[in-house]
Amino acid sequence: MLRFLLRRVASALMTLLGVLALVFGLVTAAPGDAASLAARAGGNRAVPVSPEALAAFRHLYGLDRPVAERFVTWTLRALRLDFGRSLVDGQPVADRVARALPTTLALNIAALLLACLVGVPLGVAAARRPGGRLDRISGFVCDALFSTPSFVLGLLLLLVFSGWLRVTPLFADAETGLRGFVLPVVTLTLASLALVARFVRVCVAAALADPAALAGRARGEGPPAEIGRALRRSAASFAAMGAALVPAVVSGSILVERVFSLPGAGGLLAEAVFARDLPTVLALTLLSAAVVVAASLAGDLVTAAFDPRTADADEALPGGVTP
C-alpha cells in the first residue's frame, strides 16, 4: 500500500513536470517571442518598436539565456506561483487568477454537489429495475443530456428563463447577486448529472445482480440494506468516476462562464487567449492540469483504500475507470 502510494505520487509529480515542459515548449516554439508579443499587446500596434528596445526587453527578462537555464528558472518561479505580469494590465498573473478563482470554484462545487444529490438517487432508482420504465426514460434523458454541449444547454436555459419568463438576468453582474448564479449552476449540474446517474446505475445494477445481493435477500434483508451494500461495494468505482468527471467539468466551466459572462477563471482564459496574454494563459493551463492530476491522484488513492486489489495490480494505469 505504501509502495503504491509513493509510486502514484511520484507518477503524479512526473506528469506535472511533463505538463510544465510541454507548456514551456509551446512558449519557446511559438512564433514571435514574449518580447514582440508584449510590444504588440502592450501598446498601439501602429507604432513600431525599435530592435534595440526589443533586445533590452529580452535581456531584462532573461530571454537571451540558454533554453535549459530558462526552463529551470521558469519552473522554479512557477512552483512559487510567480507567473509574471499580465500583458494586458500589468497586474501580477497570480492576483488576476486569484480574483477569478472563487467564482469558478463556487460554481463548480455547487454544481457537483447538486449533480450528486440528484444523480445518485436517480441512478439507484433506475438500477433497481433494469429495463423498467424509469430506467429507460432516465437512460434516454441522460443520453440526450450527454450529447448536448454545455454551452447550448446554457443558451437554451437563458432563452427560456431570462428571455421568455424573465425570472433570471441575461447578464450576471454585481447587482444581480445570487440570482445570476442560478442558471450557470443548473447548466453545469445538468451537464454532470448524466454521467453521475448513468455511472451509479451501472455500478449499482451490477452489485444488485451479484450473488452477495442474492444471499442478502435470502437472509431477509430489505431494500434499504440491500442498496446500502450495493453502494458500499461500488465506492471504489465512484471515486474513479469523480476523478474522471473533473476534466469534463473544467472544460464545461470555460464555456458556461462565457455563455453567462461570469468573471471566473474560464472566462479569464478565453479573454487571455484573445488578448494573446501568454503569462495568464500559461498559468491557467498549469492550474487546470494541477487540478486534474490532483483529482486523479485522490481518486486512485480512495479507490485503493476501498479495494486494495487495485494497489497490487502492477500495470494499473492511473486515471483509468473500470465500472
Partner 1 sequence: MTGARAALRRAGIAFALFPLLALLAPLIAREKPWITGRAGETILSAPVPFDPDGVDLDRRLTPPGRRHLLGTDELGRDVLARVLHGARLSFAAGLLASALALGLGAALGTLAGWAGGRTDRAVLLVLQIVQALPALVLVIAGAAFLRPSFLVAALLIALTGWTDAARLVRAGTQRLRNQAFVDAARASGASDARLLFVHVLPHALPPALATLPYVLGSAVLTEAGLSFLGLGAPPPAASWGRALAEARNLLPDAWWCVLPPGFALFLLVFTARRLGDAFLGRRGDVQSRLA
8 Å CB contact between 120 and 200: yes
With 0-12 / 13-18 / 19 or more C-beta atoms within 10 angstroms meaning exposed / middle / buried, residue 287 is: middle
Q: Is 173 among the residues that bind partner 1 (CB under 8 A)? A: no
- How far apart are the C-alpha atoms of 109 and 106, rounded to whole Å? 5
Cα end-to-end span (Å), the chain: 22
Q: Is 92 helix (H, G, I), strand (E, B) or coil?
A: strand
Rule CB under 8 A: choose which of 41, 170, 231, 302 binds partner 1. Answer: 170
Among all chains, which residue has been given the C-alpha cell 436517480? 122
Q: Nearest distance from residue 221's CB to partner 1, in Å?
A: 25
Residues in 25-64 that interact with partner 1 by CB under 8 A: 26, 30-31
Q: Is 293 among the residues that bind partner 1 (CB under 8 A)? A: yes
| Radius of gyration over every alpha carbon of the chain, rounded to an integer in angstroms | 24
Closest CA to 176 of 186, 166, 191: 166
Q: Is 10 among the residues that bind partner 1 (CB under 8 A)? A: no
Q: Is 228 among the residues that bind partner 1 (CB under 8 A)? A: no
Rounded to the nearest 5 degrees, what angle is found at the Cα of 32, between the Cα atoms of 15 and 20? Answer: 10
Q: Is 7 among the residues that bind partner 1 (CB under 8 A)? A: no
Rule CB under 8 A: choose which of 95, 143, 173, 312 binds partner 1. Answer: 143
Find the DSSP H helices in 160-277: 179-208, 211-218, 223-233, 235-259, 265-274
Grid cell at residue 27: 512558449
Grid cell at residue 47: 507604432
Closest CA to 5 of 308, 241, 239: 308
Q: Nearest distance from residue 218's CB to partner 1, in Å?
A: 27
Rule CB under 8 A: choose which of 34, 116, 158, 304 binds partner 1. Answer: 158
Q: Is 244 among the residues that bind partner 1 (CB under 8 A)? A: yes
Piece in contact with partner 1 (CB under 8 A), picked from 71-79, 108-116, 174-182, 270-278? 270-278
Q: Nearest distance from residue 109's CB to partner 1, in Å?
A: 17
- Closest to partner 1 by CB, 92 vs 130, is 130
Q: Is 285 among the residues that bind partner 1 (CB under 8 A)? A: yes
- Closest to partner 1 by CB, 216 vs 267, is 267
Rule CB under 8 A: choose which of 258, 302, 305, 307 binds partner 1. Answer: 258
- How far apart are the C-alpha atoms of 201 and 84, rounded to whole Å? 47
Piece in contact with partner 1 (CB under 8 A), picked from 65-73, 82-90, 139-147, 228-236? 139-147
- Closest to partner 1 by CB, 113 vs 159, is 159
With 0-12 / 13-18 / 19 or more C-beta atoms within 10 angstroms meaning exposed / middle / buried, residue 110 is: middle
**Binding-site ranges for partner 1 (CB under 8 A):** 11, 14-16, 18-19, 22-23, 26, 30-31, 139, 143-144, 146-149, 151-152, 155-156, 158-159, 162-164, 166, 170, 195, 198-199, 201-202, 205, 241, 244, 246-248, 250-251, 254-255, 258-259, 269-270, 272-274, 276, 278, 281-282, 284-285, 288-289, 292-293, 296, 317-323
